[in-house]
Structures are given as structure tokens and as C-alpha cells.
Structure 1
Amino acid sequence: MAPLQALSLLLLASLASSAASGYRSTLTHIDSKLGFTKAQLMRRAVHRSRLRAASMLPGYSTTLSSSNAGPRLRSGQAEYLMELAIGTPPVPFVALADTGSDLTWTQCQPCKLCFPQDTPVYDPTTSSSFSPVPCSSATCLSIWSRNCTPTALCRYRYGYEDGAYSAGGLGTETITFGSSAPGEAPAASAGGVAFGCGTDNGGDSYNSTGTVGLGRGSLSLVAQLGVGKFSYCLTDFFNTSLGSPVLFGSLAELAASGGAAVQSTPLVQNPQGRSWYYVSLEGISLGDALLPIPNQTFALQADGTGGMIVDSGTIFTVLVESAFRVVANHVAELLGQPAINATSLDNPCFPAPAGERQLPAMPDMVLHFAGGADMTLHRDNYMSFDEEDSSFCLNIGGTTWTSILGNFQQQNIQMLFDITVGQMSFVPTDCSKL
């Protein structure tokens, strides 16, 4: 057996045995420590949501300065930070959790260019568990299409739509989840995880030290852990001090609460091979009324457009324009007035009556997915009150290509992605108690 094959089997065996009990970490909102008002949080969320949507457009490609930069991978910024540690001894690793990308990376010494971070920059030379990845390995071939010599190491370059980037070498390391502090869940580690060791990094880090990829590709953390499934449960968007649990493997189980039933819908594979999590949205109800949205409006097309992506990094849900107009018009009818920005694809807002300082009573919105799975969105999961403009805002926008279920709509709904069986499940949950 070749040495590389033997090493791969050894790493897989190590991961399989350590994954038996599962892994747990915490997601914190990227604005949690900055003291923003509710209105400021919304303004920042709208800005980032637009950047995220732009990065997911078909044909989007990064523009990097070096002509020989190597592979250029597509991604976008995220909304939640995941708390991990990397190396032996472990170094804190606060990463942007991204269900829309696969590669996990962190800043590394020696830095050619590193953005400021609160924790020490990881140094692979001080870790006993670091190993560089040769460019001839199967792991490297998944992101590098050029010819290379047998002794060359794997290089990567990862670009973001807003100009942020990371470049460096690919290696394998031990990733540690949880904490060994008294009263907290014990730490659990997984060895041999491939990651990007970024020595040249720039742009807005959003208080992170890198990114953890939770997509459906072979390089994602979920795939490398060999656990087959993961779950997260996002707490109240406006209570940024609350952490949100993210669970892997055997810990990623859904428990019905308050009489609510667990519901499931198949994950759909994009025909163009994109690693996002697609589901089939079949209709939308507002209260007791099934909205007049034609069949096949949300169908996934052969060219990879259409469908619905479930994304933790997009804040506000976006619907293809024809469906968005129907939803926005029905919300306008309920409120009794047209939107201020009725011709835009942005989240529509409606003037609040004089002296009104809170949202009126609104019916539930229900998203109907394939397989009979219905996701109920209560008023606060799709509407908000803008104190600065004294307006009621529908936190759903429009798009011209693909619908995305954003994280604002996923508040207090535990989401489970089972890659092994190809299924997404969900159940209403008080995420602060999970």
C-alpha cells in the first residue's frame, strides 16, 4: 500500500473513532460585542446581505491581483462566528461559519500580511500535529488544477466578493471543539483535518481569524469529520449576547418541543455541482391563504439557477422576483398601505401609523417544502419595526436568479442537515435552552 493511502486510512480511522460521541461548538453573531442598537444591527445586516447575495450570483468570480495566484474559489462573508481551537497545543480559532463554502482556513505565521485578531496567530512550526499537504495529493487536487512536481506543497487562494481574500498552503491539523473549563462540555478533538494555512490575508475579517466551511463538498469540515450530519439552532437575532449551538454527528439530533413535530424535506443536488444546501420550495401561505404563486416558480433549472438554498450566511430570505412581488403585495394589503420602496427588490418597508411603536398582529407565514414539510414563520421571523424610520419592514427581498432561506427566518428553529441520507429536518425550538 502506498504511504499516502496508508496515511489517509489511518486518519479516517482516527476520525471515525473520535466522532462516536459527536462534537459541539457555539456560534456567536459577528456584531455581538459591538454594542449596536436594533436599528444599527438591521442596517449592517442589510449591507452584508447584499454582499452575500452578490457573491452567490452565477458567473461570479473573484478578482485577485496576482496573475499566477492559482485556483480561485468562490465564497461570501458569513454572519456567525464558530469557536474552535487548532493545533497541539490548541490555539483559539474563531471562524466565520459558512454553509456556502467548503474550505476551512485560518491566519498563519509567518505572516506576509495578516489582519488584526484578538488571539495569537497560529504558528504551524509550534504544533506537533501539523502536516503540510503535497500538491499531488487528492485533497489538493480538489482545489488545484495545475500540474505540480512530486515535492511541491499545495497552495490555495480564496477570494471574497467584497475584496477580502486568503492565500497560503494547505495542511492537516487537529481541530478541538468545546472547552475543558469547569461546568462546560468537555473538549473533543478530531485529527487530520485539511485546512488552509493563510499567510497572506486581507479585507474585513468580521472579528474572525478565518473561516470554517460547512458546505456539501469533500473539503468541508462536515465531510472531513466523517459524521454525516450537523445541526445548528440560531437564537434571537436582536439579542446578540446569546450564543447559538452547533452540533455534529451523534449530538445533532432534533427533539420536538411544545407539541411541534419534526419535519423533513429532501436535499436537492445542484446540476452544476455547487455545494450549497438546496431544497424544493413548493409554495407559500400567509395565514390561511395559499398565495397565488405559479407551480415551478422555485424549480431548480438545468443551468443551476432557480431552486432554494438554505444558507446560514445570508441574513434575509430572498425569493425569485415573481414570488417576492406576490408576498410583498399581500403584506401591503394586510397593512393597508403600499411599500415606501415598492419598485425595488430590497426588503420592502411600510410607513407606521403616527404614534405606533411596535408591529401589529400579523398571521404566520408558512413555507411549503417537498415531502409535506411546512416551516412556520411567526411574525417576528419575517417582520421588524424600524425605529429610525418609523416603518414596518418585511425582512424578505427579491432576486432575479435563486431563492435563499436566510438566517433571520431561521431564528429559534433547529436545523438539521443529514448529508448521508440527503435530508434537511427542522423543528421550532427555544435555541437558548438547547
Structure 2
Amino acid sequence: MMSMVLSLQIIITAFLFITTTATATASASSPPSGFTMDLIHRRTINSSSSRRSNNNDTYDQLLSSSSPYADVVFDNYEYLMKLKIGTPPVEIEATIDTGSDMIWTQCLPCLHCHKQRNPIFDPSKSSTYKEECSSNTSSCDYDLYYGDGTYSKGRLATETVTIQSTSGHSYVMPEIVIGCSHNSSEAIRSTASGIVGLGRQPLSLISQIGLGAFSYCFSPEEGTSSKISFGSNAIVSGDGTVSTPMFLKEDKPTFYYLNLDAVSVGKARVETLGTPFHAVDGNIVIDSGSTAFYLPASYLSLVRELVEKVVTAEKVDSEETLCYKTNSMDLFPVITVHFSGGADLVLDKNNTYMAFNGQVICLMIMSAPATPFAEKAVFGNRAQSNFLVGYDRSSLQVSFKPTHCADVTQAMPRDSTSAASSFLQLFHIKFVLFILVLSLIRP
């Protein structure tokens, strides 16, 4: 009898221990192997009431701040992630950017800062902010320069970062390396607090959390939710999915390169083969932080010529891009991009053309600005909208699946270690222990 009581005590103790452990696991704050977050889509320039109606002015406004990669100044599309930094946590909104490697936010004291929606982070009020160098050295200093000439300068530090998934779970990530920007270009017209870099280098968010894959789905409709997923939640598969190799370059280690084989305008195809743009090891950067689709000028002229053959409307005089005085998208041809490996993306007209004031429609494929840091070819976020885009950093593949991103909420999986999963595990443990108790009590 004593032995049976002792066994029951051991089982009850084990039961309580496992129950407590499983419950703790269900509410664990470290990121799971897969999770999804909401993104905010914001128009930063052209949605304002001060939009100019003059065609040339409208176009100047369109191009005045364009950047081929890692940009925080968007003429049209900006996708922001909400996260909290510090202890106590302070919420910021930061632009997700596959063309840069750092997580940074504007910090007090701010010598030069662009305007942002959220209060500027004050590191002196955070108990977990720590610079890993002495205050009298410059080893913690960083300087970032972007393709449009804007910049961020500040100090590197470790800080606690908290993120919230679409399943309602908050995950706390201690000692994440961030940049505390005390000097950012006043030319930055984004309302974001900073940038969440998703590039290939060690300081990017995807590298620091140690998950090998991420995906996003950008809705072009302002006011609708877009999504970004990490780890096991980032798998892109199913009908309509196409994949293309990802190329890495040692001299430009941040970027994800794809190989663009051709562009079709309607049924007419322009090969890169035979042009200086042709490559077999990556000739275009895929970038979530740039709005426009950039091509080298010589190759772009071939694409424009085909568009000009189709569109019958009156042209707007411009040296920089192709614009027409019309309000009818029906006049414009469908454009298809052909990536290596047979990944053909038929782009919606809203991916490749932009309407201004109901009077002018412009081709949103243009020549990259002549700045020192500019890439000559960039596949920007406007062209990627309404595609589920997945980056598998292990298999070096980028996948695309046509998706109406505003409706993607129901299609996203829950966190891999969600409370529901933990509850099922706990129920199984309880059931097994219950059977053991019965076996010991049975005479």
C-alpha cells in the first residue's frame, strides 16, 4: 500500500511538474520556429491633398525620392512592421527592407531627425539598452548610406525587441543588435521610425533570429493588412507557385539577386541575351524597400519601345519615364517578367503602371538614378504586390505565388508553437498519466 501511495505521489508530482512546464512552454516568450506578423501599408507621398496636377510636377514628385534599394523614402508604397524595443517596451514602426542589413530606429538625443509618427525612442529610459563598447571610442558608431542619397548615423547597441504575431502571442528577443540613429537625413520623407533590415548579413533581423526563411504578401490597397512570415510559416507552395534561383555576390553581400532572362510586353519578348544586361549569376536585386522596378537604361529602352507601339494615347513630355495623357488602363499592354528556372510572372497592370489624378498614366519601370550606391536593376515592391513571395536562404530559392494579399489572413498558419499546439501536447500527457494511475490502482 505504501509503495502504491509513493508511486501515486511521484506520478502526481510528475504530473504537476509536466503540467507547469507545458503551461510555461505555451506562454514562452522566445520566438517559435514559425510565426506570422501583420504589416502596415502606407502611401507616403501621392495620397496627400497637396498632390500637384501639373504632369511634369507630378512626375518630378514621383521620382524626386526614388531609391533602387534599401530606401526609406517611398513615392508610393511603404510596408511597415510594428515592434517594441527596450524595457519598458516602446512601440515603433519600421520599414521592412530586404536590401539592407540593420535594424535601426531614431533615438534621443536626435541631432537631425526626419518626422515620424511614433515618439522617438529614448535609450536612457531603457534598462536593457547596452552599448558594447566604451563611450570614448568610435567602435560603436555606424554610418549607413542609401541609394537615394539619404543616410542614418548613430550607435550600435544591444536591446530587447518584442514582436507580436497574428496569433496574438508576444515574443521577447533579448540582446538583439540594433542601431540607435542620432542623425538621419532630413530628406527622408517616410513616417517610419527606422528600418528592419532583412538582408543576408549577420545584423539583419532574419539572421539574428536564426530562421532560414521568410515570406511576405504585399497588398496594394491602402488600409488593408499585408503579412510577413518567418521560419516554417514562410513556406510558399501550391497551385501557381514558381521558383527561381537566388544568387549571392561576395562584393555585395547584402542583396538577394535573381536572374532576369527576358521581359515580355504583350506577346513580344525582349531577351537579355545579347545585351550588356545578360547574366547567368544574377542581374537584378529583389527588394521590398524600393517602390519602382528599375532596369538598365539600354535594356529599358527596348521594353519602352514595345510599350510605345501598343499605346495610342498622347505622350507626356518626359525624359525619365514613359507617361501618357489618359485615364484608361485598357490601352496598356500586360507585362511579364521571365526569371531563370522557368519562373514567369504575369504582372497585373497595377504592378507596372501608375495613374495620377485620373489624367496621366506612367510606366513604373524606369532607369535607376545615377547615385553612387544605386543598383542598375531592382525588382521593387510595387511589382511584387499581390504575390506571396518566399525567400528560402537554405536552398537559395525565391518563390512567387499569385495571391490576393488583402484576403490572405485565413491562409496564414498559426505559430508553430502556438497555445493550441501546447494544449494538445498537455492533454496527451495528462491522458497518459491518467492511464498510469489507473494501472497502479487496479488490484
- TM-score between the two structures when normalised by the length of structure 2: 0.72
1:29 paired to 2:34 = no
Whole-angstrom distance in 1 between the partners of 2:167 and 2:49: 29
Equivalent positions of 1:193-342 (< 5 A) are: 193-203=176-186, 204-236=188-220, 239-256=221-238, 260-291=239-270, 293-295=272-274, 297-300=276-279, 307-336=283-312, 339-341=315-317
CA offsets per residue over residues 249-295 of structure 1, 9 Å max, x none?
Answer: 22212254xxx421111111124234122100011223333235544
Counterpart CA distance in 2 for 1:392 and 1:283 is 24
- Describe the shift of the 1:200–1:394 C-alpha distance in structure 2 as closer, same or farther (beyond 3 A): closer
Relative contact order (C-alpha < 8 Å, sep 6+): which is higher? 2
> 2:200 & 2:37 partners in 1: Cα distance?
19
- Cα RMSD over matched residues? 3.5
Equivalent runs, 1:366-377 vs 2, <5 Å? 366-377=336-347
**Correspondence 1:47-196 to 2 at 5 A:** 47=61, 49=63, 51-53=65-67, 77=73, 79-134=78-133, 154-160=140-146, 164-178=150-164, 185-196=168-179
Amino acid at match of 1:195: I
Contact 1:132–1:172 (Cα < 8 Å) also in 2:
yes
More helix by share: 2
User: How big is the shift at 1:158?
Assistant: 2.7
What corresponds to 1:6 in structure 2?
Answer: none
Aligned to 1:275, what secondary structure does the other structure show? strand
Paired AA for residue 331 in structure 1: V
**In the aligned structure 2, how far is the partner of 1:247 from the partner of 1:216?**
17
Q: Secondary structure at the match of 1:329?
A: helix
Distance 1:49 1:310, change over 3 A: farther
Task: Give the Cα separation in 1 of the matches to 2:272 and 2:384.
Answer: 22
Please say if 1:397 is aligned against 2:373.
no
Structure 1 residue aligned with 2:323, among 349, 367, 383?
Answer: 349
Give the Cα–Cα distance (whole angstroms) in 2 for the partners of residues 395 and 272 of structure 1: 29
> How far is 1:431 from its partner?
0.5
User: Contact 1:173–1:192 at 8 Å: present in 2 too?
Assistant: yes
Gaps of 5+ in 2: 1-27, 409-443
Contact kept, 8 Å, 1:216 with 1:276, in 2: the verdict is yes
Counterpart in the other structure of 2:440? none
Residue of structure 1 equivalent to 2:10: none
Give the residue type in structure 2 aligned to 1:334.
Answer: V
1:132-161 Cα distance to aligned partner (Å, 9 max, x none): 2238xxxxxxxxxxxx99x87622233446
Contact 2:58 2:356 in 1 (8 A): no
- Quote the Cα distance in structure 2 between the aligned partners of 1:386 and 1:253: 36
Tell me, yes or no, if the aligned pair for 1:174 and 1:190 is still in contact at 8 Å. Answer: yes
1:374: Cα distance to partner? 0.8
Amino acid at match of 1:285: S
**What's the offset of the Cα at 1:45?**
8.6
Task: Please state how far the C-alpha of 1:309 moved relative to its aligned partner.
Answer: 1.0
Q: Find the aligned partners of 1:190 and 1:37 in 2 and give their Cα distance.
A: 41
- Percent of aligned positions with the same letter in both sequences? 30
SS in 1 for 2:350: helix
TM-score after normalising by structure 1: 0.74
Deviations 1:35-84 (A, max 9, x none): 458988x977974655444x76xxxxxxxxxxxxxxxxx86645332211
Displacement of 1:32: 8.7
Counting matched residue pairs gives 370
Shift, 1:330, TM fit: 1.2
Q: 1:397 to 1:287 in 2, by over 3 A?
A: same
Contact 1:291 1:326 in 2 (8 A): yes
CA–CA distance in structure 2, aligned partners of residues 227 and 298 of structure 1? 33
How big is the shift at 1:127? 2.7
Report the 3-state secondary structure (helix = DSSP H, G, I; strand = E; otherwise coil) of the residue aligned with 1:402.
Answer: coil
Mean Cα deviation higher: 93-102 or 400-409: 400-409
- Classify 1:207/1:290 alpha carbon distance in 2 versus 1 (closer, same or farther; 3 Å): same
Structure 1 residues 16 and 48, CA gap change in structure 2 (3 angstroms):
farther
Offset of 1:94 from its aligned partner? 1.0
* SS of 1:132 mapped into structure 2: coil
Structure whose alpha-carbon radius of gyration is higher: 2
- Per the alignment, do residues 49 and 83 of structure 1 end up closer, same or farther by CA in structure 2, a change over 3 Å counting? farther
Measure, in 2, the Cα distance between the counterparts of 1:314 and 1:45: 17
Indicate if the aligned counterparts of 2:367 and 2:376 stay in contact, CA closer than 8 A: no
1:241, distance to aligned residue in structure 2 (A):
1.8
Q: In 2, Cα distance between the equivalents of 1:370 and 1:216?
A: 21
- Write out aligned runs for 1:7-18 (5 A): 18=31
119-128 vs 271-280, greater mean Cα deviation: 119-128
Change over 3 Å in CA distance of 1:248–1:266 after alignment to 2:
same
Change (3 A) 1:398 1:156: closer
* 1:24/1:251 contact within 8 Å kept: no
Aligned-residue offset at 1:334: 1.3
Unaligned runs of 5+ in 1: 1-14, 57-73, 136-147
1:112 offset after TM fit, Å?
A: 4.5
Q: Give 1:405 shift.
A: 1.0
Tell me if the contact between 2:391 and 2:399 (Cα under 8 Å) persists in the aligned partners.
yes
Give the counterpart of 1:421 among 395, 408, 425: 395
Whole-angstrom CA distance in 1 between matches of 2:36 and 2:143: 29
In the alignment, which residue of structure 2 is the partner of 1:7?
A: none
Matching residue's letter, 1:194: V
